[in-house]
Amino acid sequence: MAANGELVIAVGQELDYREDLIEEMIFGQMWIWFASLPILIIVLGWLIHKELRPIKRLSQEVQTRKSGDVSLLNTEGLPVEILPLVKNLNQFFDRTSAMLQRERRFTSDAAHELRSPLAALRIQTEVAQLAGDDVALREQALLHLTQGIDRASQLIEQLLTLSRLDNLQALETLQLLDWEAIVQSLISERYFVAEKRKITLVFEKESEPKQKQGQSILVSLMLRNLLDNAIKYCPEDTIVSVKISSSQIIIEDNGGGVEPEDLKKLGQRFYRPAGQNEKGSGLGLSIVMRIAELHGFKVRLENVVKEGRRIGLKSNNILVEMALK
């Protein structure tokens, strides 16, 4: 009974009893954990080994690779967590493989194409040396030597240009293209060359071209190659017209056109139709195709037929369809 008259009931328990109960609960279950621990460790180790086996295989595959091996990595059985990394590596290997193939092709093409001009230069040099007092023969040999050097220089310049274009994955520092200004500048630049060959250059603007971003220098190089082809391979008294519309640039001549079987092969590297008197490397249209590809343009070569007569090949000649959206 409390001092204030209230009834108080006190319940107590010995501390030893509580401690004994706790010890019984802990140590009574501990033998189960100790007995299952080795099994858990074995199972855990097996799972880790199984999950890491594809990664170990991938590591060994990369470690044992020879230099120059850019084949794709095997993604079979790889954990989902590292699959994006391996896929990105495969994309990198794919790009590297394409780059190496381009470099090998460039080296092979350059060696093959330079062999003939260098042999011709050597022959002309020997002719000049053997000319003796024959001034006319010496002058002719030196003229041929100069022409051969010019052709070799042009070939080397085109090979280097094509190599640089092949190594480009995307264009940088883009600006709006002023098609009219580019075309007019090219016509002014090539006017006297065309006049010397008795070829008339005509510019026609049918409609305002859609705005398109690109590199003006490369686009100018593309159109210059097309225009030079038309001037170089067309006969005298030919009219070469450059037409601009909202979605097309057409370089067209009224020359003799190209045979259908040759037309399909134009644009292939070093391909030149048989029977041409003009010297060339067969790289001009390849450069055109690559620049058009980088800008998203479509290039189509076709003969133009009017009144039942084949009168020319667009842009020798080429029709460039601009993918303007």
Domains of the chain and CATH, by start: 87-167 (1.10.287.130), 175-318 (3.30.565.10)
Would you state the pLDDT for residue 1?
Answer: 58
Q: Angle at Cα 226 formed by Cα 220 and Cα 228, nearest 5°? A: 95
Would you state the pLDDT for residue 137?
Answer: 83
The pLDDT tens digits for 244-280 are: 888 788 888 776 667 777 777 777 777 777 666 666 6
Would you state the pLDDT for residue 146?
Answer: 84
Mean pLDDT of 33-40: 80
Beta-carbon-side half-sphere exposure of residue 41 (alpha carbons within 13 Å) = 6
Q: Where are the beta strands (DSSP E) in the chain?
A: 175-176, 200-205, 213-214, 239-244, 248-253, 298-300, 303-306, 309-313, 319-321
Confidence of residue 23 (pLDDT cuts 50, 70, 90): confident
3-state secondary structure of 204: strand
Q: pLDDT at residue 206 above 80?
A: yes
The pLDDT tens digits for 280-316 are: 667 778 888 888 888 888 888 777 665 443 344 444 4
Q: Where are the beta strands (DSSP E) in 27-154?
A: none
**pTM of the complete model beyond 0.85:** no
The pLDDT tens digits for 221-242 are: 888 888 888 888 777 888 888 8
